[in-house]
């Protein structure tokens, strides 16, 4: 059950679902919705030990990946999340960028990402995070975007900082990974941040 807001929503319902999920571009970087043909690359990425270390939910088959892709399409239509393939020029999927947990009333959402091993070290994640957050905080009208990562995930911390997400603190023992509970660093970018 949803209770009515006593204030106007930051983003009116229907704003996102009025059109297809956009493709976002920044130079040679293109963030596009997932295609059925991306299933093998998506599944292969989840075989990487680093992605497995930080992501406890992972697909077991290409069929399951395609089910995830359908979930992503429904989430866009329901205005709860968006998931993009990170690519160069719209080609092969090299990573995943998510804008999830969308609260249109408050104008808040959560970001998450991973990059396939062969594409790491080129700034793909930070550029993708910057592109999605520029779009979300600008054109769409979100006010605040958040992300968190294990305090042990130094690469994710660098991505957040490069994309303009400021550190806000640590949530103690907030997430479970394969090796047990982790403290989580919290970062945020709000409209008006550089």
Identify whether 3 is part of a domain: no
d(CA 104, CA 79): 8
- State how beta strands 144-150 and 108-115 pair: parallel
Asked if residues 95 and 124 have their Cβ atoms less than 8 Å apart, the reply is yes
Q: What is the pLDDT of residue 5?
A: 72
Identify whether 7 is part of a domain: no
Identify whether 61 is part of a domain: yes
Domain range for 166 is 24-190
Q: Tell whether the model's pLDDT for residue 3 goes beyond 90.
A: no
Asked if residues 184 and 165 have their Cβ atoms less than 8 Å apart, the reply is no
> What is the percent of the chain with per-residue pLDDT over 90, rounded to a whole number?
95
Asked if residues 143 and 107 have their Cβ atoms less than 8 Å apart, the reply is yes
Q: Tell whether the model's pLDDT for residue 4 goes beyond 80.
A: no
* Residue located via tokens 């704003």: 15
Of the pLDDT bands very low, low, confident and very high (cuts 50, 70, 90), residue 82 is very high
Q: Tell whether the model's pLDDT for residue 1 goes beyond 70.
A: no
Number of domains present in the structure of the chain:
1
Q: What does the block give as tokens for 109?
A: 């959402």
φ/ψ bin of 169: left (φ > 0), alpha (ψ from -120 to 50), beta (otherwise): left
Q: Tell whether the model's pLDDT for residue 22 goes beyond 80.
A: yes
Identify whether 14 is part of a domain: no
Span 100-143, pLDDT tens digits? 999 999 999 999 999 999 999 999 999 999 999 999 999 999 99
Identify whether 13 is part of a domain: no
- Mean pLDDT for 78-86 is 98
d(CA 14, CA 61): 33
Identify whether 97 is part of a domain: yes
- Mean pLDDT for 72-94 is 97
Identify whether 47 is part of a domain: yes
Q: What is the CATH number of the domain that holds 107?
A: 3.40.630.30
Identify whether 40 is part of a domain: yes
């Amino acid at each position: 059950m949803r209770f009515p807001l006593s204030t106007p929503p930051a983003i009116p319902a229907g704003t996102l679902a009025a059109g297809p999920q956009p493709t976002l571009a920044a130079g040679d970087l293109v963030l596009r919705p997932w295609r059925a043909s991306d299933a093998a690359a998506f599944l292969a990425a989840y075989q990487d030990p680093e992605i497995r270390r930080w992501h406890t939910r992972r697909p077991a088959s290409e069929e399951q990946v395609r089910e995830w892709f359908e979930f992503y399409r429904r989430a866009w239509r329901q205005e709860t999340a968006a998931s993009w393939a990170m690519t160069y020029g719209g080609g092969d999927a090299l990573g995943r960028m998510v804008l999830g947990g969308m609260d249109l009333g408050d104008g808040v959402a959560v970001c998450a990402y991973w990059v396939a091993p062969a594409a790491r070290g080129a700034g793909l994640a930070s550029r993708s995070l910057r592109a999605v957050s520029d779009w979300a905080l600008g054109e769409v009208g979100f006010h605040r975007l958040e992300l968190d990562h294990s305090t042990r995930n130094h690469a994710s911390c660098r991505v957040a900082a490069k994309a303009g997400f400021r550190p806000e603190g640590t949530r103690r023992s907030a997430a479970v990974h394969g090796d047990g509970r982790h403290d989580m660093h919290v970062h945020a970018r709000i409209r008006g941040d550089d």
